[in-house]
Amino acid sequence: MALIDRFGRKHDYLRISVTDRCNLRCVYCMPPEGVPFVPHSEILSYEQITEVVRVGAKLGIRRLRLTGGEPLVRKDIEKLVSQLAAIEGIEDIALTTNGIFLAKKAQALKEAGVTRINLSLDTMDPEKFAMVTRGGDVKRVLDALHTSIAVGFSPIKLNVVLMKGVNDNEVADFLKLSMEHPIQVRFIEYMPIGHENDEWRTKYLPLTHVHTICDQLGVPYGPTDLVYGNGPAENFRFEGAKGSFGLIHPVSEHFCSNCNRLRLTADGFLKPCLYWDEELNVKRALGDEEALTQLFNKALEVKPENHEMANALNHEAKSHKPTTRRMSQIGG
């Protein structure tokens, strides 16, 4: 079977938020005071997540990504990975993490079934990192990066949210990482998820800035299709580089036309689109395979053609209601 929406897009990818809790407070993900956490009693259990994925796999879901919040704050996360890896039809399990706890968990996660890692690292400057994350230690993330390489995760993707006046002067340093290590550095545009005010606009910087820095480096580079994964990145590689770099521009050049993903929130809602507020309650269907099947199909019925984030940037009217959830509450 296949999950195909009314615009002809085939969905084989499910992003699963296992918790809304996080040990950091990144400026683009949470307000300074944080956000109210969902009570533990309302968070989906590993068994409930596995039930949803088992139905999804029968419908054509093949690839999973575990997110949060921060997924590694969830106790014994490797047990969930093992359960998901055992489901017939699931071919790939990836994990997105801020990296603070990854170095200690990397080997167990690899053995449980995680093949790919996305590591969030917006700046390599210790002071700026502490500012962006509101207290994080960049050394622990860099240690996690080197441990991930040693353990053998492949590919390893480094997620860099580009912010004007914050890390735009480090683009060359990140590009050099892609030359020296077998990783993909992915520059991501600042998105107005959960906070459409002028604050995000002041930090927004189009990714044409990255091409400008590439030209200044003077090293030949070009497009590459050798990067494995589910993501919407436009991929490039410098001549002779061990790794590559990618550009993800959801605002200036949205990638909705080939979107292949659905999202399962930690508190049990199936989200057809990251940006809009439409959510379907999974808990009401638990224990009923037919009801869960109908829920997946309903998600495809209501999924819009695109997210219209560019409208938010330009103060233009939108056709749907944007979500009020912050990124940590959705799973990214």
Neighbour tally for 86: CB within 10 Å:
11
Element (H, E) at 34: none
Q: Please report which confidence band the pLDDT of residue 199 belongs to, taking 50, 70 and 90 as the band edges.
A: low
Evaluate if residue 135 carries a pLDDT over 70: yes
Report the C-alpha gap between 80 and 187 in whole angstroms.
29
pLDDT at 274: 76
* DSSP-derived secondary structure letter, 15: E
Query: pLDDT at position 315, please?
Result: 53
Query: Residue written as tokens 């002067």?
Result: 169
Tell me the average pLDDT across 265-288: 91
What is the arithmetic mean of pLDDT over 212-230? 87
- Report helix, strand and coil shares of the chain as percent, to nearest 5: 35, 20, 45
Q: Which residues of 162-191 are buried (b: 16+ CB within 10 A; e: fewer)?
A: bbeebbeebbeebbebbbebebbbbbbbbb
- pLDDT bracket for residue 137 (50, 70, 90): very high
Higher-pLDDT residue of 318 and 105 is 105
Rounded average pLDDT over 104-111: 98
Strand partners, 10: 4
The predicted model scores a pTM of: 0.89
**Average pLDDT estimate for 174-201:** 82
CB 274 within 8 Å of CB 214: no
pLDDT per position as a tens digit, 29-54? 877 777 888 999 999 999 999 999 99
Quote the CA–CA distance of 323 and 192 in Å, as a whole number: 10
Residues paired with 187 in a beta bridge: 160, 247
Q: What are phi and psi of 154, to 5 degrees?
A: -155, 125
pLDDT of residue 99: 98
pLDDT beyond 90 at 175: yes
- What is the structure's pLDDT at 92? 96
Any idea which architecture 3-330 has in CATH? Alpha-Beta Barrel (3.20)
Q: How would residue 307 be classed by pLDDT, with cut points 50, 70 and 90?
A: low
| 198-224 average pLDDT score | 90
| Segment 83-106 mean pLDDT | 98
- Phi first, then psi: give them for residue 270, nearest 5 degrees: -95, 120
Percent of the chain with pLDDT over 90: 72
Give yes or no for residue 194 having a pLDDT over 70: no
Mean pLDDT computed over 252-267: 82
Average pLDDT over every residue of 58-82: 97
Strands 3-4 and 10-11: antiparallel
**Under DSSP, is residue 35 helix (H, G, I), strand (E, B) or coil?**
coil
